[in-house]
Amino acid sequence: MDRSPVLIDLALQGGGSHGAFTWGVLDRLLDEPWFQIAGISGTSAGAMNAAVLVDGWAAGGADGARAALDKYWRSVSRAAAFSPLQRSPLDRILGRWSLDTSPAYLFTDLMSRVLSPYDLNPLGFNPLRDILADSIDFGRLARAPIRLFVTATRVRTGRGRIFRNAEITADVLLASACLPTMFPAIEIDGEPYWDGGYVGNPTITPLVRETDAQDTVFVQINPTERAELPRSAAEILNRLNEISFNSALAKELRMIALLRQVADPGTGEGARWAQMKTHRIKSDLLAAFGASSKLNAEWAFVAKLRDEGRRAAGAFIDAHGADLGARSTADLDILLAEC
C-alpha cells in the first residue's frame, strides 16, 4: 500500500510459543514503510518480541528488526529441541500441536501441584536467559528511538510495574514471562516479580500517555470467547488460563473507555484519550490450540504460527489500512463486550 506515513503504537499480548504468531504479525507490518512505530507495550512473550524488535530497529531499521526477530525465534526453537517437553507419538500421528498426552508434560504438570519451582529448579535455570543475551544489546535498547514498556507483577503486592527502555535487562524480560509454577520469582532491586500477564496483558495506558501516536494496534493471542463449555480437566484449565490472562486487559479497557467519555478533547492529556484510535489483529486459529501448546516451540509449530501471523496482518492491512490515522477499527465498546 502506497500512502503517507502513520505513527502507531503496538500492544503485544503474552502467550508462550504462541508469541510466534505476533512475530509473524510484526514481520508483515515491518514490510510496510508507511508504518512508523512510536512505542510498544509488551508482556511475557509480547515483551520478548517487543524488545527484540526495538533493538533490531535501533541497529538496522525495519530490516534489522525483521532479522533480529527471525534470529530470536530460531534460537528459541533450537533450544526447545533439547527440552523434555515434546509432543507424544500419538499427538504427532494425529497432527495435534498440544502436549496434553506428552508424558514429560503430564509429569511436570503433576509435580507442579506438589512441589514448587524452588524445589524443582532452585537455581532458576531458564534457557531464555542465554538467548536474550545473544539476541539483544541492552545498552543499545536503552537508547533506541522506539519507546518500550514491559510489564511485570510484584509478588508481594500483586501490583504491576512498568519498565521502560533504560531499565530493561534480561532479568526484566524474564520477570515479565515468569510463570510461578515453573520458575522461581525473578528479583530486581530486591523485589520479586512474576509474569506481567496477571496485571497487564499488555498494559496500554503508557502508550497513550507517553507517545505521540494516536493509533494503537493490539495484537491478540488469548481468545476472549469460547462457544463450547469446557468439560475435561485440560479444557477447564485451558479456559481458566485464558480468562485469568485476559482479565487485567478487560479492566484497563473499561477504564480507557470511561476516560474517553469524560476526556476534554481540547488539549493536554484529555486530548490524547479523546483522540485515541484502536485496532486489533487476531486469528481464530489460535483458539484451536490448548494451553499446553504454548510450551511447544518446535520449529514446524513456530513457523506455522508465524505464517498465520503474517496472513492475519496482511488481511488487516487490506481491510483497514486506509483507516489507520482516520478512525478506530476495533471500537472499545466491542472489545469490552468480548472481554
DSSP string, 40-56: EEE-THHHHHHHHHHHH
**pLDDT number for residue 272:** 74
Residue scoring higher pLDDT (271 or 106): 106
Q: Which of 12-21, 85-94, 131-140 has the lowest mean pLDDT?
A: 85-94
Q: What percentage of the chain exceeds 70 in pLDDT?
A: 93
State the CB neighbour count (10 A cutoff) for residue 284. 9
Indicate the length of the chain as a whole number: 339
Taking only the tens place, the pLDDT of each residue in 58-75 is 999 999 999 999 999 999
State the Cα–Cα distance between residues 236 and 239, nearest whole angstrom. Answer: 5
- Strand 35-42, strand 147-154: pairing: parallel
**pLDDT number for residue 236:** 82
State the Cα–Cα distance between residues 216 and 324, nearest whole angstrom. Answer: 9
**pLDDT number for residue 196:** 94
What 3-state DSSP class applies to 25? helix
pLDDT of residue 260 exceeding 80, the answer is no
CB 193 within 8 A of CB 186: yes
**pLDDT number for residue 111:** 86
> 179 φ, ψ to 5°?
-75, 120
> 327 φ, ψ to 5°?
-160, 160
**pLDDT number for residue 263:** 62
Taking only the tens place, the pLDDT of each residue in 178-200 is 999 899 999 999 999 999 999 98
Q: What percentage of the chain exceeds 90 in pLDDT?
A: 66
**pLDDT number for residue 231:** 83
What 3-state DSSP class applies to 11? strand
Average pLDDT over every residue of 16-23: 97
pLDDT of residue 338 exceeding 90, the answer is no
What is the value of pTM for the model shown? 0.93
Looking at the DSSP assignment, which residues form a beta bridge with residue 174?
none
CB 18 within 8 A of CB 221: yes
Q: Which of 108-117, 159-168, 315-324 has the lowest mean pLDDT?
A: 108-117
Residue 120, classified by CB atoms within 10 Å of its CB into exposed (0-12), middle (13-18) or buried (19+), is middle
- Strand 6-12, strand 215-219: pairing: parallel
**pLDDT number for residue 268:** 64
**pLDDT number for residue 35:** 94
Average pLDDT, the chain: 90
**pLDDT number for residue 252:** 78
Cell of 84: 523434555
Q: Which residues contact 185 (CB under 8 A, 6 or more apart)?
A: 155, 175, 178, 192, 193, 194
How does DSSP classify residue 122?
A: T
Which candidate, 141, 152, 253, places its Cα nearest to that of 208? 253
pLDDT of residue 3 exceeding 60, the answer is yes
Looking at the DSSP assignment, which residues form a beta bridge with residue 192?
187
State the Cα–Cα distance between residues 147 and 141, nearest whole angstrom. Answer: 10
The dihedral sign for the CA sequence 174, 224, 102, 78: negative
pLDDT of residue 216 exceeding 70, the answer is yes
Taking only the tens place, the pLDDT of each residue in 73-86 is 999 999 999 889 99
**pLDDT number for residue 334:** 57
Which candidate, 193, 147, 128, places its Cα nearest to that of 51? 147
State the Cα–Cα distance between residues 25 and 48, nearest whole angstrom. Answer: 14
Which amino acid is residue 73, in one-letter code? Answer: W
Average pLDDT over every residue of 45-70: 98
Which candidate, 62, 11, 29, 72, places its Cα nearest to that of 218? 11
Report for 90-99, 156-165, 226-235, 325-334: range of highest mean pLDDT: 156-165
**pLDDT number for residue 100:** 87
CB 75 within 8 A of CB 131: yes
pLDDT of residue 335 exceeding 60, the answer is no
Q: Which residues contact 192 (CB under 8 A, 6 or more apart)?
A: 154, 155, 156, 185, 186
State the Cα–Cα distance between residues 61 and 81, nearest whole angstrom. Answer: 31
Residue 144 to residues 39, 63, 67, 109, 152, Cα–Cα distance (Å): 11, 15, 17, 40, 21
